[in-house]
Amino acid sequence: MTIAIPGKNILAEACGPLDPASGLDALIACVNARAPGLTFGLVLTERDWYRLGGVVDADGKRVSEDLRAWVEDEADGDVIDFVARFQDAGLQATALTGRTHFLSAPTGEGLMDFVQIEIEETQEMVERPLLVPGVIPDTVEDVIDPSDIRITSRRPLGDKHYRVRRVTPFAERMGDLTSQYTGDPRLARFLEEWSASSAADTTRFSAQWAMVEFSYLDSQGDHLHEVKLLTPHAPMVDNVDIRHLGDGADGERLADLVHGID
């Protein structure tokens, strides 16, 4: 049977309008209704991220969706001229806050036979004046993302909403992600060790781990891939204190610690 993987645009159109207040069950049901032959479930929710938003005027009317791109385009490297033109415009910088839900569904019996969907639950906030009266930033970057940020009266700009960020069929991506030349060697090693572990015999990899891919250019201009692994079990591992073992911890005590985590 051919499995139809739902496209990002289809999911965005169908599930984007859902009210996050209706809960994750409604979101998962919406995804599964657009994915016949697949059964998606929640792997984990990555909470409390923050990133730059856009620009609005004093009345909250949209000037730009992308703060960085707008400021860089308008300033064109001249922060003094930018301040002179916009000092009294009453412009406000916004920020996006939210969390990301990772859903996955198996597509076969193989380790990496699964599809992962990343859906952001996000809200835009009016965060600060873009320019502070009487203060001249040193650089354009100080306008975009000042280190001494002055948050005056953070307020919501619209309601929370869902945004489909990425749909990834990992069976098709693994060649690039683990390639000797372009991939992440740590991922290849981790997958080998997972396959050899007792966990691989009792649970699906995709039910225990979410994967976040980062693509970048190295100094030679080559496209490389890096993968971050996330797990709902992270709080337990983070709370493990190994300081009492000392620098010369023997194998038996280390084995006991690993067994406890397992």
Question: pLDDT digit string (tens) for 54-84?
Answer: 999 999 999 999 999 999 999 999 999 999 9
Q: Tell me how far apart the alpha carbons of residues 238 and 234 are, in angstroms, rounded to a whole number.
A: 6
- Burial (Cβ within 10 Å: 0-12, 13-18, ≥19) of residue 32: middle
Return the pLDDT at 62.
96
Nearest Cα to Cα of residue 49 among 118, 101, 97: 97
Return the pLDDT at 57.
95
Cβ neighbors of 122 (< 8 A, separation 6 or more) are: 96, 97, 98, 160, 161, 162, 163
Q: Tell me how far apart the alpha carbons of residues 151 and 140 are, in angstroms, rounded to a whole number.
A: 19
- For the chain, the farthest-separated pair of C-alpha atoms sits apart, in whole angstroms, at 68
Two tokens at 118?
């990343």
Q: What is the pLDDT of residues 210-223, one digit of tens each?
A: 999 888 887 777 77
**Which range, of 99-103, 118-122, 249-253, averages the lowest pLDDT?**
249-253
Return the pLDDT at 176.
85
Return the pLDDT at 180.
80
Phi, psi of 40 (to 5 degrees): -90, 145
CA distances from 177 to 105, 180, 184, 235 (A): 19, 9, 6, 27
Is residue 1 over pLDDT 60? no
Two tokens at 21?
């207040």
Q: Are 262 and 236 in contact (CB under 8 A)?
A: no
Is residue 8 over pLDDT 90? yes
